[in-house]
Chains A and B, each alone.
Chain A
Amino acid sequence: MSNDVLILAEHLKGKVSDISFEMTGKGRQLAVAFGGKAVAVMLGSGAAALAATLGADSVLYVDDPALAEFNPQAYGRVLAALINDRAPRLVMVGNTSMGMDLAAGLSVTAGLPLMAYVNGLAAEGGALAATSQIYGGKIQAEAVPDGEACVVSCLAGAFPADAGRVGAGLVPALEQIASPVPLADLQIKFVRMIEPQSGDVDITQQPILVSIGRGIGGQENIELAQELAEALGTAVSASRPVTDAGWLPKTRQVGKSGLTVKPKIYLAFGISGAPEHLEGMRGAETIIAVNTDPKAPIFDVAHYGATCDMLDLLPALTEKIKA
Chain B
Amino acid sequence: MAETSIATTPPPDTLLEVVGLSKSFGGRRGRTSGIRAVADVDLTLRRGETLGLVGESGCGKSTLSRLILSLLEPDAGQVRIAGIDFTHAPERHRRELRRRIQVVFQDALSSLNPRMTIGANIAEPMRLQGLGSAALRRTEARRLLGLVGLRPEHEDRYPHEFSGGQCQRIAIARALMLQPEIIVFDEAVSALDVSIRAQILRLILDLQRQFGLSYIFISHDLGVIKRICDRIAVMYLGQIVEIGPAETVCRAPRHPYTAALLRAIPIADPRRMRVSDLGQIEGDAVGAVKPDACPFAPRCPKQFDPCDKRRPALIDVAPGHQAACHLNEPEAC
Say whether A associates with B.
no
Please report A residues at the B interface, Cβ cutoff 8 Å.
none
